[in-house]
Amino acid sequence: MFKRRQPRADGQPKFGDRRKAKRQVVGWESRYRVVHEELEHLHYAGDDYETCVLTDLSMEGAGLHLVAGEVTVGDRVELDLPLGAHRRASIQVRAEVRHASVEQGAPRAGLEFIEIGDLERALLYRLLRDMKQNVTQSA
């Protein structure tokens, strides 16, 4: 018989963060859409996307607070990822929902990136590197 462990008072996992890559806190507005493989077509309008707030980001995934819409674990989503807080440029990355919950009345989702191209990976790496340098310089 397995015994479920009680969560720690500080909310941190007992054996540290088990993520593959350290996430950086973001807080940017973004948007996403749930991908329905059977309905795939080449062009999507702005109405096909739902608003969200990108809470954290790493090379392997992202955390979202969903403003509108819902997702469930296993859903595939396309995230319109802004390349900075006040930049208009963005990249589209595909991800799979690995965690979905409701925290403080707002739906939250944890995403793991899948099917990322070389260009998107390079831009994501540069974005995270620049964010880390800005945090270091401001401290």
The tens digit of pLDDT for each residue in 77-102 reads: 999 999 887 778 899 999 999 999 98
Is residue 69 within 8 Å of 101, Cβ to Cβ? no
Architecture, CATH, for domain 24-134:
Beta Barrel (2.40)
106 three-class SS: strand
DSSP string, 26-69: EEEEEEEEE--GGG--S---GGG-EEEEEEEE-SSEEEEEESS-
Q: pTM value?
A: 0.75
Domain boundaries, the chain: 24-134
Over the stretch 39-80, which tens digit does the pLDDT of each residue have? 665 555 557 889 999 999 999 999 999 987 889 999 999 999
